[in-house]
Amino acid sequence: MAAEINRDKVRESFHRQAIDYDRHAVVQGRVVDKVLGLLQAERVAPASLLDIGAGTGRLLARLTELYPEMEAVGVDLAPGMCEAAASALAGRRVRMLNADAESLPFDAESFDVVVSTSTYQWLATLDQAFAEARRVLKPGGVFCFALFGERTLFELRESYRAVLDGGADRTHSFFANDEVLAALERAGFEAARVGSELEVEMHPDVPELLRSLKKIGAGSTAPASGRGLSERRVMLEMMASYRKRFGREDGVPATYEVVYGVARKGGGEVGE
Protein backbone atom coordinates (compact mmCIF):
# COMPACT_ATOMS: atom_id res chain seq x y z
CA MET A 1 0.00 0.00 0.00
CA ALA A 2 1.32 3.43 -0.88
CA ALA A 3 1.12 6.27 1.57
CA GLU A 4 -2.02 8.34 2.00
CA ILE A 5 -1.66 11.92 0.83
CA ASN A 6 -1.47 14.55 3.55
CA ARG A 7 -2.84 17.69 1.90
CA ASP A 8 -1.59 19.97 4.67
CA LYS A 9 1.91 18.55 4.22
CA VAL A 10 1.74 19.09 0.45
CA ARG A 11 0.53 22.67 0.92
CA GLU A 12 3.27 23.47 3.43
CA SER A 13 5.98 21.79 1.36
CA PHE A 14 5.20 23.79 -1.79
CA HIS A 15 4.71 26.95 0.26
CA ARG A 16 8.24 26.66 1.68
CA GLN A 17 9.90 25.90 -1.65
CA ALA A 18 8.21 28.56 -3.82
CA ILE A 19 11.39 30.65 -4.14
CA ASP A 20 13.56 27.75 -5.35
CA TYR A 21 10.91 25.97 -7.41
CA ASP A 22 11.59 27.22 -10.95
CA ARG A 23 15.35 26.71 -10.69
CA HIS A 24 14.91 23.01 -9.91
CA ALA A 25 11.66 22.14 -11.73
CA VAL A 26 13.26 21.24 -15.07
CA VAL A 27 10.78 18.61 -16.22
CA GLN A 28 7.89 20.84 -15.15
CA GLY A 29 9.23 23.49 -17.53
CA ARG A 30 9.14 21.05 -20.45
CA VAL A 31 5.57 20.15 -19.47
CA VAL A 32 4.54 23.81 -19.76
CA ASP A 33 5.85 23.88 -23.36
CA LYS A 34 3.93 20.74 -24.28
CA VAL A 35 0.66 21.96 -22.75
CA LEU A 36 0.96 25.23 -24.64
CA GLY A 37 1.28 23.27 -27.87
CA LEU A 38 -1.73 21.09 -27.07
CA LEU A 39 -3.83 24.14 -26.26
CA GLN A 40 -2.86 25.93 -29.47
CA ALA A 41 -3.77 22.80 -31.45
CA GLU A 42 -7.32 23.17 -30.09
CA ARG A 43 -7.46 26.60 -31.82
CA VAL A 44 -8.89 28.34 -28.78
CA ALA A 45 -9.14 32.10 -28.40
CA PRO A 46 -10.10 32.42 -24.74
CA ALA A 47 -11.55 35.56 -23.25
CA SER A 48 -11.28 33.97 -19.80
CA LEU A 49 -8.88 31.29 -18.54
CA LEU A 50 -8.21 29.49 -15.26
CA ASP A 51 -4.91 27.84 -14.30
CA ILE A 52 -5.37 25.30 -11.49
CA GLY A 53 -2.21 24.74 -9.48
CA ALA A 54 -0.59 27.74 -11.12
CA GLY A 55 2.55 27.51 -9.00
CA THR A 56 4.97 30.35 -9.66
CA GLY A 57 2.98 31.47 -12.72
CA ARG A 58 5.28 30.04 -15.37
CA LEU A 59 2.42 28.75 -17.57
CA LEU A 60 0.31 31.87 -17.02
CA ALA A 61 3.20 34.10 -18.13
CA ARG A 62 3.39 32.25 -21.43
CA LEU A 63 -0.40 32.21 -21.86
CA THR A 64 -0.72 35.96 -21.35
CA GLU A 65 1.78 36.44 -24.17
CA LEU A 66 -0.22 34.15 -26.45
CA TYR A 67 -3.59 35.64 -25.54
CA PRO A 68 -2.91 39.22 -24.36
CA GLU A 69 -6.57 40.26 -24.32
CA MET A 70 -7.87 37.49 -22.06
CA GLU A 71 -8.68 37.76 -18.37
CA ALA A 72 -6.74 35.05 -16.51
CA VAL A 73 -6.99 33.66 -13.00
CA GLY A 74 -4.53 31.37 -11.28
CA VAL A 75 -5.20 29.33 -8.16
CA ASP A 76 -2.80 27.39 -5.98
CA LEU A 77 -3.11 25.53 -2.69
CA ALA A 78 0.19 26.95 -1.41
CA PRO A 79 0.16 30.62 -0.31
CA GLY A 80 3.87 30.94 -1.10
CA MET A 81 3.28 29.91 -4.70
CA CYS A 82 0.46 32.47 -5.02
CA GLU A 83 2.75 35.20 -3.71
CA ALA A 84 5.58 34.21 -6.08
CA ALA A 85 3.20 34.13 -9.06
CA ALA A 86 1.56 37.45 -8.19
CA SER A 87 4.99 39.07 -8.05
CA ALA A 88 6.16 37.48 -11.32
CA LEU A 89 2.95 38.40 -13.14
CA ALA A 90 2.61 41.96 -11.84
CA GLY A 91 1.27 44.27 -14.54
CA ARG A 92 -0.46 41.48 -16.47
CA ARG A 93 -4.18 40.76 -16.61
CA VAL A 94 -3.93 37.97 -14.07
CA ARG A 95 -5.40 37.43 -10.60
CA MET A 96 -3.93 34.88 -8.18
CA LEU A 97 -6.02 33.20 -5.50
CA ASN A 98 -5.17 30.73 -2.75
CA ALA A 99 -7.68 27.95 -3.46
CA ASP A 100 -8.18 24.17 -3.61
CA ALA A 101 -8.58 22.33 -6.93
CA GLU A 102 -11.37 20.28 -5.37
CA SER A 103 -13.38 23.32 -4.26
CA LEU A 104 -12.94 26.17 -6.73
CA PRO A 105 -14.30 29.57 -5.60
CA PHE A 106 -15.98 30.42 -8.92
CA ASP A 107 -19.47 30.35 -10.36
CA ALA A 108 -20.42 27.68 -12.88
CA GLU A 109 -19.53 28.44 -16.50
CA SER A 110 -16.99 31.15 -15.66
CA PHE A 111 -14.11 30.26 -18.03
CA ASP A 112 -13.52 29.44 -21.69
CA VAL A 113 -10.42 27.40 -20.93
CA VAL A 114 -9.15 25.57 -17.84
CA VAL A 115 -5.52 24.43 -17.71
CA SER A 116 -3.39 22.67 -15.12
CA THR A 117 0.16 21.33 -15.00
CA SER A 118 1.97 19.12 -12.49
CA THR A 119 -0.81 19.42 -9.90
CA TYR A 120 -3.40 16.66 -9.94
CA GLN A 121 -0.95 13.91 -8.96
CA TRP A 122 -1.10 15.29 -5.41
CA LEU A 123 -4.78 14.37 -5.06
CA ALA A 124 -6.05 11.10 -3.61
CA THR A 125 -8.63 10.84 -6.42
CA LEU A 126 -9.29 12.82 -9.59
CA ASP A 127 -13.08 12.79 -9.61
CA GLN A 128 -13.87 15.86 -7.52
CA ALA A 129 -11.14 18.00 -9.12
CA PHE A 130 -12.20 17.06 -12.66
CA ALA A 131 -15.85 17.69 -11.79
CA GLU A 132 -14.89 21.15 -10.53
CA ALA A 133 -12.89 21.89 -13.68
CA ARG A 134 -15.91 20.97 -15.79
CA ARG A 135 -18.31 22.94 -13.59
CA VAL A 136 -16.44 26.23 -14.04
CA LEU A 137 -16.02 25.74 -17.81
CA LYS A 138 -18.44 27.38 -20.22
CA PRO A 139 -20.24 25.09 -22.70
CA GLY A 140 -17.78 24.16 -25.43
CA GLY A 141 -14.87 25.04 -23.16
CA VAL A 142 -11.53 23.23 -23.30
CA PHE A 143 -9.79 21.47 -20.41
CA CYS A 144 -6.07 20.89 -21.02
CA PHE A 145 -3.81 19.45 -18.33
CA ALA A 146 -0.73 17.43 -17.45
CA LEU A 147 -0.02 15.34 -14.39
CA PHE A 148 2.63 12.85 -13.38
CA GLY A 149 1.69 9.23 -14.12
CA GLU A 150 2.36 5.79 -12.70
CA ARG A 151 5.94 5.35 -14.00
CA THR A 152 7.09 8.55 -12.30
CA LEU A 153 10.17 8.03 -10.10
CA PHE A 154 9.86 4.25 -10.48
CA GLU A 155 13.61 3.93 -9.82
CA LEU A 156 13.24 5.56 -6.40
CA ARG A 157 10.13 3.64 -5.46
CA GLU A 158 11.49 0.26 -6.59
CA SER A 159 14.76 0.85 -4.75
CA TYR A 160 12.92 1.72 -1.56
CA ARG A 161 10.59 -1.28 -1.78
CA ALA A 162 13.56 -3.58 -2.41
CA VAL A 163 14.89 -2.87 1.10
CA LEU A 164 11.60 -2.57 2.98
CA ASP A 165 11.74 -6.11 4.34
CA GLY A 166 7.97 -6.18 4.72
CA GLY A 167 7.63 -2.71 6.17
CA ALA A 168 5.00 -0.13 5.18
CA ASP A 169 5.53 1.55 1.81
CA ARG A 170 5.38 5.33 2.31
CA THR A 171 6.31 6.34 -1.23
CA HIS A 172 3.80 8.28 -3.31
CA SER A 173 1.67 6.49 -5.92
CA PHE A 174 0.62 8.04 -9.22
CA PHE A 175 -2.35 7.66 -11.57
CA ALA A 176 -2.30 5.43 -14.65
CA ASN A 177 -3.46 6.66 -18.07
CA ASP A 178 -6.65 4.63 -17.96
CA GLU A 179 -7.50 5.99 -14.51
CA VAL A 180 -7.15 9.54 -15.82
CA LEU A 181 -9.32 8.87 -18.87
CA ALA A 182 -11.98 7.13 -16.78
CA ALA A 183 -12.11 10.08 -14.36
CA LEU A 184 -12.60 12.51 -17.26
CA GLU A 185 -15.47 10.42 -18.58
CA ARG A 186 -17.08 10.12 -15.14
CA ALA A 187 -16.89 13.91 -14.80
CA GLY A 188 -18.89 14.26 -18.01
CA PHE A 189 -16.23 15.57 -20.38
CA GLU A 190 -16.55 14.89 -24.10
CA ALA A 191 -13.93 14.01 -26.73
CA ALA A 192 -11.41 13.19 -23.99
CA ARG A 193 -7.91 12.25 -25.12
CA VAL A 194 -5.12 11.05 -22.83
CA GLY A 195 -1.53 10.10 -23.62
CA SER A 196 1.81 10.02 -21.86
CA GLU A 197 5.50 10.65 -22.45
CA LEU A 198 8.59 9.78 -20.42
CA GLU A 199 11.05 12.44 -19.33
CA VAL A 200 14.39 11.50 -17.75
CA GLU A 201 16.45 13.75 -15.49
CA MET A 202 20.03 12.88 -14.56
CA HIS A 203 21.42 13.60 -11.10
CA PRO A 204 25.00 13.21 -9.83
CA ASP A 205 23.88 10.82 -7.07
CA VAL A 206 20.85 9.72 -5.06
CA PRO A 207 21.25 12.27 -2.24
CA GLU A 208 21.26 15.06 -4.85
CA LEU A 209 18.09 13.62 -6.40
CA LEU A 210 16.39 13.63 -2.99
CA ARG A 211 17.50 17.23 -2.37
CA SER A 212 16.15 18.22 -5.78
CA LEU A 213 12.75 16.69 -5.00
CA LYS A 214 12.67 18.59 -1.74
CA LYS A 215 13.53 21.85 -3.53
CA ILE A 216 10.44 21.56 -5.74
CA GLY A 217 8.21 20.73 -2.78
CA ALA A 218 7.93 17.10 -3.84
CA GLY A 219 9.62 15.54 -0.84
CA SER A 220 6.49 13.48 -0.14
CA THR A 221 7.25 11.41 -3.26
CA ALA A 222 10.07 9.84 -1.24
CA PRO A 223 10.08 8.26 2.22
CA ALA A 224 10.81 10.41 5.23
CA SER A 225 14.44 10.20 6.25
CA GLY A 226 16.49 9.93 9.28
CA ARG A 227 14.48 9.73 12.51
CA GLY A 228 16.12 6.88 14.34
CA LEU A 229 18.75 4.34 13.42
CA SER A 230 16.40 1.92 11.65
CA GLU A 231 15.01 4.67 9.42
CA ARG A 232 18.51 5.86 8.55
CA ARG A 233 19.58 2.29 7.78
CA VAL A 234 16.67 1.87 5.35
CA MET A 235 17.54 5.13 3.60
CA LEU A 236 21.20 4.16 3.22
CA GLU A 237 20.25 0.72 1.89
CA MET A 238 17.74 2.31 -0.49
CA MET A 239 20.41 4.65 -1.90
CA ALA A 240 22.82 1.76 -2.34
CA SER A 241 20.13 -0.26 -4.12
CA TYR A 242 19.33 2.70 -6.40
CA ARG A 243 22.99 3.12 -7.38
CA LYS A 244 23.45 -0.60 -8.00
CA ARG A 245 20.27 -1.11 -10.04
CA PHE A 246 20.05 2.15 -11.99
CA GLY A 247 23.37 4.00 -11.71
CA ARG A 248 25.24 5.05 -14.85
CA GLU A 249 28.63 6.57 -15.50
CA ASP A 250 27.04 10.03 -15.65
CA GLY A 251 24.97 9.64 -12.48
CA VAL A 252 21.54 8.28 -11.61
CA PRO A 253 18.38 8.71 -13.70
CA ALA A 254 15.01 9.86 -12.42
CA THR A 255 12.14 9.06 -14.78
CA TYR A 256 8.92 11.06 -14.94
CA GLU A 257 5.87 9.83 -16.83
CA VAL A 258 3.85 12.86 -17.88
CA VAL A 259 0.20 12.20 -18.62
CA TYR A 260 -1.38 14.80 -20.93
CA GLY A 261 -5.12 15.22 -21.31
CA VAL A 262 -7.43 17.32 -23.47
CA ALA A 263 -11.22 17.30 -23.20
CA ARG A 264 -14.21 19.53 -23.87
CA LYS A 265 -17.39 20.41 -22.07
CA GLY A 266 -20.34 19.79 -24.37
CA GLY A 267 -22.84 22.37 -25.47
CA GLY A 268 -20.99 24.90 -27.63
CA GLU A 269 -17.70 25.92 -29.19
CA VAL A 270 -14.77 28.03 -28.05
CA GLY A 271 -12.45 28.86 -30.93
CA GLU A 272 -11.26 31.27 -33.48
Q: What is the pLDDT of residue 22?
A: 44
Whether 196 is in a domain gets the answer: yes
Give pTM, 2 decimals: 0.84
Whether 245 is in a domain gets the answer: no
Percentage of residues in the chain with pLDDT exceeding 90? Answer: 65
How many folded domains does the chain comprise? 1
For residues 68-85, average pLDDT: 93
Whether 162 is in a domain gets the answer: no
Percentage of residues in the chain with pLDDT exceeding 70? Answer: 81
* Ranges 26-40, 115-129, 159-173, 210-224, most confident: 115-129
Whether 207 is in a domain gets the answer: no
Whether 49 is in a domain gets the answer: yes
Whether 240 is in a domain gets the answer: no
In this predicted structure, the answer to whether residue 19 has a pLDDT above a threshold of 60 is no
Whether 155 is in a domain gets the answer: no
Q: What is the pLDDT of residue 169?
A: 61
pLDDT digits (tens, 9 = 90+) for 88-145: 999 999 999 999 999 999 999 999 999 999 899 989 999 999 999 999 999 999 999 9
**Contact call for residues 218 and 13 (beta carbons, < 8 A):** yes
**Contact call for residues 165 and 146 (beta carbons, < 8 A):** no
Give me the domain span that covers residue 85.
7-150+172-200+253-264
Helix (H) / strand (E) containing 84: helix 79-88
CATH number of the domain enclosing 186: 3.40.50.150
Number of neighbours of residue 177 by Cβ within 10 angstroms = 16
Whether 225 is in a domain gets the answer: no
